[in-house]
Amino acid sequence: MADDIGVLIVDDSALMRNLIGRMVESTPGLIVAEKAMNGIFALRKIPRINPDIIVLDLEMPEMNGIEFLKERKKLGIEIPVIILSAAARRGAELTMEALALGASDFIQKPSDTGGDDIYAVKDQLTGMLLGYGSKYRHLAGKKPVSIDYTKYELKRQLTPELTPSLSTNTFTHIKSSLGGVVSPAKPPTPLRKPGKTEIIAIGISTGGPDALRFLCARLDPDLSVPIVVVQHMPPGFTNEFAKSLDRVCPLEVKEAEDGDLIKPGRILIAQGNKHLELERKTLAVMAHLSDDPLVSGHRPSADVLFASVAKVYSNQALGVIMTGMGRDGAEQLGVIYREGGVTLGQDEASSVVYGMPRVAFELGHVMEQVTLENMARRICSIAKGQG
Protein backbone atom coordinates (compact mmCIF):
# COMPACT_ATOMS: atom_id res chain seq x y z
CA MET A 1 0.00 0.00 0.00
CA ALA A 2 1.07 3.57 -0.62
CA ASP A 3 1.18 4.43 3.07
CA ASP A 4 3.31 1.42 4.05
CA ILE A 5 6.94 2.01 5.00
CA GLY A 6 9.16 0.74 2.17
CA VAL A 7 12.17 -1.35 3.28
CA LEU A 8 15.30 -1.97 1.20
CA ILE A 9 17.03 -5.17 2.35
CA VAL A 10 20.77 -5.33 1.57
CA ASP A 11 22.53 -8.64 2.31
CA ASP A 12 24.65 -11.02 0.26
CA SER A 13 22.88 -14.04 1.77
CA ALA A 14 19.75 -15.06 -0.14
CA LEU A 15 18.58 -16.90 2.98
CA MET A 16 18.87 -13.76 5.11
CA ARG A 17 17.22 -11.56 2.45
CA ASN A 18 14.27 -13.94 2.33
CA LEU A 19 14.07 -14.27 6.11
CA ILE A 20 14.07 -10.50 6.69
CA GLY A 21 11.66 -10.10 3.79
CA ARG A 22 9.17 -12.46 5.40
CA MET A 23 9.43 -10.55 8.70
CA VAL A 24 8.72 -7.29 6.89
CA GLU A 25 5.84 -8.59 4.77
CA SER A 26 4.09 -10.13 7.80
CA THR A 27 4.11 -6.81 9.69
CA PRO A 28 1.25 -4.34 9.09
CA GLY A 29 2.61 -0.99 7.96
CA LEU A 30 5.76 -2.43 6.34
CA ILE A 31 6.48 -3.56 2.79
CA VAL A 32 9.61 -4.80 0.99
CA ALA A 33 10.54 -2.07 -1.51
CA GLU A 34 13.43 -4.08 -3.00
CA LYS A 35 16.34 -6.37 -2.14
CA ALA A 36 20.03 -6.04 -3.04
CA MET A 37 23.02 -8.37 -2.63
CA ASN A 38 25.60 -5.65 -1.90
CA GLY A 39 26.10 -1.91 -1.53
CA ILE A 40 26.62 -1.24 -5.24
CA PHE A 41 23.26 -2.73 -6.20
CA ALA A 42 21.62 -0.89 -3.31
CA LEU A 43 22.94 2.49 -4.48
CA ARG A 44 21.69 1.78 -7.99
CA LYS A 45 18.20 0.93 -6.73
CA ILE A 46 17.70 3.76 -4.24
CA PRO A 47 16.83 6.52 -6.78
CA ARG A 48 14.22 4.28 -8.41
CA ILE A 49 12.50 2.83 -5.35
CA ASN A 50 12.99 5.71 -2.87
CA PRO A 51 12.79 3.50 0.26
CA ASP A 52 11.90 4.82 3.70
CA ILE A 53 14.52 2.71 5.51
CA ILE A 54 17.40 0.34 4.74
CA VAL A 55 18.38 -2.92 6.47
CA LEU A 56 22.11 -3.36 5.85
CA ASP A 57 24.52 -6.25 6.30
CA LEU A 58 28.13 -5.22 6.95
CA GLU A 59 30.15 -8.02 5.38
CA MET A 60 29.37 -8.21 1.64
CA PRO A 61 31.43 -8.56 -1.56
CA GLU A 62 32.29 -5.67 -3.94
CA MET A 63 30.89 -2.97 -1.62
CA ASN A 64 30.46 -3.85 2.05
CA GLY A 65 28.27 -2.05 4.59
CA ILE A 66 30.96 0.35 5.80
CA GLU A 67 31.81 1.36 2.23
CA PHE A 68 28.11 1.81 1.49
CA LEU A 69 27.68 4.13 4.49
CA LYS A 70 30.67 6.23 3.41
CA GLU A 71 29.23 6.54 -0.09
CA ARG A 72 25.77 7.29 1.34
CA LYS A 73 27.28 10.15 3.31
CA LYS A 74 29.09 11.55 0.25
CA LEU A 75 25.87 11.43 -1.78
CA GLY A 76 23.83 13.13 0.94
CA ILE A 77 21.39 10.23 1.27
CA GLU A 78 19.49 10.63 4.54
CA ILE A 79 17.44 7.43 4.48
CA PRO A 80 17.90 5.76 7.91
CA VAL A 81 19.91 2.53 8.07
CA ILE A 82 19.52 -0.40 10.47
CA ILE A 83 22.61 -2.63 10.67
CA LEU A 84 22.45 -6.43 10.71
CA SER A 85 25.42 -7.23 12.92
CA ALA A 86 27.36 -10.43 13.57
CA ALA A 87 27.91 -11.42 17.20
CA ALA A 88 31.71 -11.69 17.12
CA ARG A 89 33.95 -8.96 18.54
CA ARG A 90 34.88 -7.89 15.03
CA GLY A 91 31.17 -7.55 14.35
CA ALA A 92 30.78 -5.26 17.36
CA GLU A 93 33.69 -3.06 16.25
CA LEU A 94 32.28 -2.78 12.72
CA THR A 95 28.83 -2.00 14.11
CA MET A 96 30.14 0.91 16.18
CA GLU A 97 32.04 2.19 13.14
CA ALA A 98 28.78 1.98 11.19
CA LEU A 99 26.95 3.98 13.86
CA ALA A 100 29.69 6.61 13.75
CA LEU A 101 29.20 6.81 9.98
CA GLY A 102 25.52 7.61 10.39
CA ALA A 103 23.69 4.29 10.77
CA SER A 104 20.74 4.78 13.09
CA ASP A 105 20.69 1.52 15.01
CA PHE A 106 21.58 -2.16 14.81
CA ILE A 107 20.24 -5.60 15.53
CA GLN A 108 22.17 -8.80 16.04
CA LYS A 109 21.68 -11.41 13.34
CA PRO A 110 19.86 -14.51 14.55
CA SER A 111 22.34 -17.29 15.31
CA ASP A 112 19.82 -19.99 14.41
CA THR A 113 17.50 -19.14 11.54
CA GLY A 114 15.14 -21.87 12.64
CA GLY A 115 15.29 -21.23 16.40
CA ASP A 116 13.20 -19.34 18.94
CA ASP A 117 15.40 -16.22 18.78
CA ILE A 118 13.84 -15.47 15.38
CA TYR A 119 10.72 -14.22 17.15
CA ALA A 120 12.69 -11.86 19.38
CA VAL A 121 14.64 -10.59 16.38
CA LYS A 122 11.42 -10.00 14.45
CA ASP A 123 9.88 -7.91 17.25
CA GLN A 124 13.01 -5.80 17.62
CA LEU A 125 13.66 -5.34 13.92
CA THR A 126 10.10 -4.52 12.87
CA GLY A 127 9.79 -2.10 15.78
CA MET A 128 12.94 -0.32 14.62
CA LEU A 129 11.74 -0.25 11.00
CA LEU A 130 8.39 1.23 11.98
CA GLY A 131 9.97 3.75 14.34
CA TYR A 132 12.81 5.05 12.19
CA GLY A 133 10.85 4.69 8.94
CA SER A 134 7.91 6.68 10.26
CA LYS A 135 10.19 9.42 11.61
CA TYR A 136 11.97 9.67 8.24
CA ARG A 137 8.65 9.85 6.41
CA HIS A 138 7.54 12.68 8.68
CA LEU A 139 10.78 14.63 8.19
CA ALA A 140 10.75 13.98 4.44
CA GLY A 141 7.21 15.29 4.15
CA LYS A 142 5.57 11.95 3.50
CA LYS A 143 2.46 10.89 5.39
CA PRO A 144 3.66 9.35 8.68
CA VAL A 145 2.42 5.94 9.76
CA SER A 146 0.55 5.99 13.09
CA ILE A 147 1.84 3.19 15.34
CA ASP A 148 1.18 2.48 19.02
CA TYR A 149 4.63 1.26 20.07
CA THR A 150 3.53 0.19 23.55
CA LYS A 151 2.03 -2.88 21.85
CA TYR A 152 5.30 -4.18 20.55
CA GLU A 153 6.76 -5.90 23.57
CA LEU A 154 3.58 -6.39 25.57
CA LYS A 155 2.95 -9.87 24.21
CA ARG A 156 6.37 -10.93 25.52
CA GLN A 157 6.67 -8.71 28.58
CA LEU A 158 3.22 -8.65 30.14
CA THR A 159 3.17 -12.31 31.09
CA PRO A 160 3.33 -13.68 34.65
CA GLU A 161 6.74 -15.29 34.24
CA LEU A 162 8.36 -12.07 33.00
CA THR A 163 6.61 -9.48 35.17
CA PRO A 164 5.93 -10.94 38.61
CA SER A 165 6.30 -7.53 40.27
CA LEU A 166 3.51 -5.83 38.30
CA SER A 167 0.45 -5.02 40.36
CA THR A 168 -3.03 -5.65 38.96
CA ASN A 169 -3.67 -1.91 38.78
CA THR A 170 -0.47 -1.30 36.82
CA PHE A 171 -1.25 -4.15 34.42
CA THR A 172 -4.72 -2.75 33.77
CA HIS A 173 -3.38 0.74 33.24
CA ILE A 174 -0.75 -0.34 30.73
CA LYS A 175 -3.28 -2.33 28.76
CA SER A 176 -5.51 0.74 28.61
CA SER A 177 -2.75 2.59 26.77
CA LEU A 178 -3.27 0.40 23.71
CA GLY A 179 -6.38 2.31 22.77
CA GLY A 180 -4.61 5.61 22.15
CA VAL A 181 -3.74 8.70 24.18
CA VAL A 182 -4.59 8.30 27.86
CA SER A 183 -4.44 11.08 30.44
CA PRO A 184 -1.65 10.61 32.98
CA ALA A 185 -2.59 8.90 36.20
CA LYS A 186 -2.30 10.81 39.46
CA PRO A 187 1.45 11.08 40.21
CA PRO A 188 2.91 9.56 43.37
CA THR A 189 3.03 11.71 46.48
CA PRO A 190 6.72 12.43 47.18
CA LEU A 191 7.88 11.40 50.64
CA ARG A 192 10.27 14.35 50.79
CA LYS A 193 11.41 17.36 48.77
CA PRO A 194 14.10 16.92 46.08
CA GLY A 195 17.64 17.25 47.40
CA LYS A 196 20.94 17.96 45.71
CA THR A 197 21.38 15.68 42.70
CA GLU A 198 24.04 13.04 43.40
CA ILE A 199 23.23 10.51 40.63
CA ILE A 200 21.71 10.53 37.14
CA ALA A 201 20.12 7.28 35.91
CA ILE A 202 19.01 6.82 32.30
CA GLY A 203 16.89 4.03 30.80
CA ILE A 204 16.73 3.80 27.01
CA SER A 205 16.14 1.23 24.27
CA THR A 206 15.15 1.40 20.58
CA GLY A 207 16.53 4.63 19.13
CA GLY A 208 19.08 4.74 21.94
CA PRO A 209 22.39 4.53 20.07
CA ASP A 210 21.62 7.70 18.09
CA ALA A 211 20.01 9.46 21.04
CA LEU A 212 22.85 8.68 23.46
CA ARG A 213 25.49 9.84 20.98
CA PHE A 214 23.57 13.10 20.61
CA LEU A 215 23.06 13.48 24.36
CA CYS A 216 26.59 12.57 25.48
CA ALA A 217 28.24 14.92 22.99
CA ARG A 218 26.28 17.84 24.50
CA LEU A 219 26.86 17.27 28.21
CA ASP A 220 28.79 19.99 30.04
CA PRO A 221 32.48 19.12 30.49
CA ASP A 222 32.27 20.27 34.11
CA LEU A 223 29.29 18.06 35.00
CA SER A 224 30.40 16.38 38.23
CA VAL A 225 27.40 14.12 38.90
CA PRO A 226 27.91 10.44 37.95
CA ILE A 227 25.65 8.92 35.29
CA VAL A 228 24.52 5.30 34.98
CA VAL A 229 22.80 4.03 31.84
CA VAL A 230 20.79 0.99 30.84
CA GLN A 231 20.71 0.74 27.04
CA HIS A 232 19.10 -2.48 25.82
CA MET A 233 21.89 -4.09 23.81
CA PRO A 234 23.18 -7.65 23.29
CA PRO A 235 26.23 -8.93 25.21
CA GLY A 236 29.49 -8.28 23.42
CA PHE A 237 28.40 -4.89 22.09
CA THR A 238 28.20 -2.65 25.15
CA ASN A 239 31.97 -2.38 25.62
CA GLU A 240 32.46 -1.15 22.05
CA PHE A 241 29.42 1.09 22.40
CA ALA A 242 30.84 2.69 25.54
CA LYS A 243 34.15 3.28 23.75
CA SER A 244 32.31 4.92 20.84
CA LEU A 245 30.48 7.26 23.25
CA ASP A 246 33.73 8.04 25.06
CA ARG A 247 35.14 9.41 21.80
CA VAL A 248 32.36 12.02 21.45
CA CYS A 249 31.61 12.79 25.12
CA PRO A 250 33.55 15.33 27.23
CA LEU A 251 33.14 12.98 30.21
CA GLU A 252 34.64 9.51 30.66
CA VAL A 253 32.37 6.72 29.38
CA LYS A 254 33.02 3.05 30.12
CA GLU A 255 31.22 -0.27 30.27
CA ALA A 256 30.24 -1.02 33.87
CA GLU A 257 32.21 -3.72 35.66
CA ASP A 258 31.33 -5.34 38.96
CA GLY A 259 32.83 -3.24 41.76
CA ASP A 260 33.24 -0.03 39.72
CA LEU A 261 33.11 3.09 41.86
CA ILE A 262 30.28 5.51 41.16
CA LYS A 263 32.34 8.65 40.87
CA PRO A 264 31.93 12.21 39.53
CA GLY A 265 32.47 12.90 35.85
CA ARG A 266 32.04 9.29 34.71
CA ILE A 267 29.29 7.52 32.78
CA LEU A 268 28.80 3.77 33.24
CA ILE A 269 26.96 1.77 30.56
CA ALA A 270 25.32 -1.45 31.76
CA GLN A 271 26.76 -4.63 30.27
CA GLY A 272 24.63 -6.59 27.82
CA ASN A 273 22.83 -9.46 29.58
CA LYS A 274 23.81 -8.20 33.07
CA HIS A 275 21.59 -6.26 35.46
CA LEU A 276 23.24 -3.12 36.83
CA GLU A 277 22.47 -2.13 40.43
CA LEU A 278 24.08 0.37 42.78
CA GLU A 279 25.13 -0.58 46.32
CA ARG A 280 26.26 1.73 49.09
CA LYS A 281 29.34 0.46 50.92
CA THR A 282 31.08 2.02 53.93
CA LEU A 283 33.19 4.48 51.92
CA ALA A 284 31.53 4.66 48.49
CA VAL A 285 28.72 3.60 46.17
CA MET A 286 29.67 0.77 43.83
CA ALA A 287 28.25 -0.95 40.75
CA HIS A 288 27.00 -4.50 41.12
CA LEU A 289 26.32 -6.74 38.10
CA SER A 290 24.06 -9.77 38.31
CA ASP A 291 22.60 -12.61 36.26
CA ASP A 292 19.24 -12.40 38.02
CA PRO A 293 16.15 -13.25 35.93
CA LEU A 294 14.79 -10.90 33.29
CA VAL A 295 12.76 -7.99 34.60
CA SER A 296 10.23 -6.29 32.33
CA GLY A 297 11.50 -8.67 29.66
CA HIS A 298 15.08 -7.41 29.82
CA ARG A 299 18.54 -7.93 31.29
CA PRO A 300 19.85 -5.31 31.83
CA SER A 301 16.61 -3.71 32.96
CA ALA A 302 15.98 -0.02 33.56
CA ASP A 303 13.47 -1.02 36.25
CA VAL A 304 16.22 -2.80 38.18
CA LEU A 305 18.57 0.17 37.86
CA PHE A 306 15.93 2.74 38.84
CA ALA A 307 14.85 0.69 41.88
CA SER A 308 18.42 0.47 43.20
CA VAL A 309 19.06 4.16 42.52
CA ALA A 310 15.94 5.11 44.50
CA LYS A 311 17.01 2.86 47.37
CA VAL A 312 20.58 4.20 47.56
CA TYR A 313 20.07 7.87 46.71
CA SER A 314 16.46 8.57 47.77
CA ASN A 315 15.63 12.22 46.94
CA GLN A 316 19.07 12.92 45.48
CA ALA A 317 18.44 11.05 42.21
CA LEU A 318 17.53 12.24 38.73
CA GLY A 319 15.80 9.52 36.69
CA VAL A 320 15.46 9.83 32.90
CA ILE A 321 13.47 7.54 30.62
CA MET A 322 14.00 7.86 26.88
CA THR A 323 13.06 6.36 23.52
CA GLY A 324 12.28 2.65 23.46
CA MET A 325 9.70 -0.09 22.87
CA GLY A 326 7.71 -1.64 25.69
CA ARG A 327 7.58 -0.46 29.30
CA ASP A 328 10.95 -1.19 30.95
CA GLY A 329 11.75 1.48 33.51
CA ALA A 330 8.28 3.02 33.56
CA GLU A 331 7.17 1.45 36.84
CA GLN A 332 10.33 1.97 38.91
CA LEU A 333 10.80 5.53 37.66
CA GLY A 334 7.82 6.15 39.90
CA VAL A 335 9.82 4.97 42.92
CA ILE A 336 12.42 7.67 42.24
CA TYR A 337 9.54 10.17 42.01
CA ARG A 338 8.01 8.89 45.26
CA GLU A 339 11.35 9.07 47.09
CA GLY A 340 11.57 12.76 46.24
CA GLY A 341 13.88 12.54 43.23
CA VAL A 342 13.36 14.30 39.91
CA THR A 343 12.11 12.45 36.81
CA LEU A 344 12.28 13.38 33.14
CA GLY A 345 10.82 11.66 30.08
CA GLN A 346 11.68 12.14 26.42
CA ASP A 347 8.76 13.63 24.50
CA GLU A 348 6.88 11.86 21.72
CA ALA A 349 8.01 14.10 18.87
CA SER A 350 11.73 13.43 19.40
CA SER A 351 11.45 9.74 20.36
CA VAL A 352 12.11 7.19 17.64
CA VAL A 353 9.76 4.89 19.54
CA TYR A 354 7.46 6.48 22.12
CA GLY A 355 6.88 3.35 24.18
CA MET A 356 8.84 3.38 27.45
CA PRO A 357 8.50 7.15 28.01
CA ARG A 358 4.83 7.02 27.06
CA VAL A 359 3.96 4.35 29.62
CA ALA A 360 5.94 6.21 32.30
CA PHE A 361 4.08 9.42 31.43
CA GLU A 362 0.69 7.71 31.50
CA LEU A 363 1.49 6.18 34.89
CA GLY A 364 2.11 9.70 36.22
CA HIS A 365 5.80 9.01 36.82
CA VAL A 366 7.24 11.77 34.60
CA MET A 367 7.55 15.22 36.11
CA GLU A 368 8.60 16.89 32.87
CA GLN A 369 8.72 15.85 29.21
CA VAL A 370 11.81 17.06 27.35
CA THR A 371 12.89 16.99 23.72
CA LEU A 372 16.09 15.18 22.77
CA GLU A 373 17.47 18.53 21.61
CA ASN A 374 17.07 19.97 25.12
CA MET A 375 17.74 16.83 27.20
CA ALA A 376 21.46 17.38 27.86
CA ARG A 377 20.87 21.01 28.80
CA ARG A 378 18.00 20.09 31.13
CA ILE A 379 19.95 17.27 32.81
CA CYS A 380 22.94 19.54 33.43
CA SER A 381 20.74 22.36 34.74
CA ILE A 382 19.01 20.11 37.28
CA ALA A 383 22.27 18.40 38.29
CA LYS A 384 23.90 21.76 38.93
CA GLY A 385 20.96 22.96 41.04
CA GLN A 386 19.92 25.60 38.52
CA GLY A 387 16.27 24.55 38.42
Query: Which of the residues are catalytic?
Result: 205, 232, 328
DSSP state of 261: B
Name, in order, each residue with C-beta under 8 angstroms of 172's C-beta and a sequence gap of 6 or more.
none
Residues in the chain: 387
In order, the DSSP letters of 319-334 are: EEE-SBSS-TTHHHHH
DSSP state of 295: B
- Amino acid occupying residue 157: Q
Task: Give the orientation angle of helix 238-248 with respect to helix 208-217, to 10 degrees.
Answer: 30
Q: How many CA atoms lie within 13 A of 244 on its CB side?
A: 21
Beta bridge partners of 204: 231
Computed over its alpha carbons, how large is the radius of gyration of the chain?
20
H helices present in 50-184, as ranges: 65-75, 89-100, 117-140, 154-157, 168-176
Question: Nearest 10 degrees: CA dihedral of 132, 133, 135, 136?
Answer: 110
Q: Residue 172: what are its φ and ψ, rounded to 5°?
A: -65, -40
**E strand map for 166-312:** 199-204, 227-231, 252-255, 266-269, 275-280, 285-290
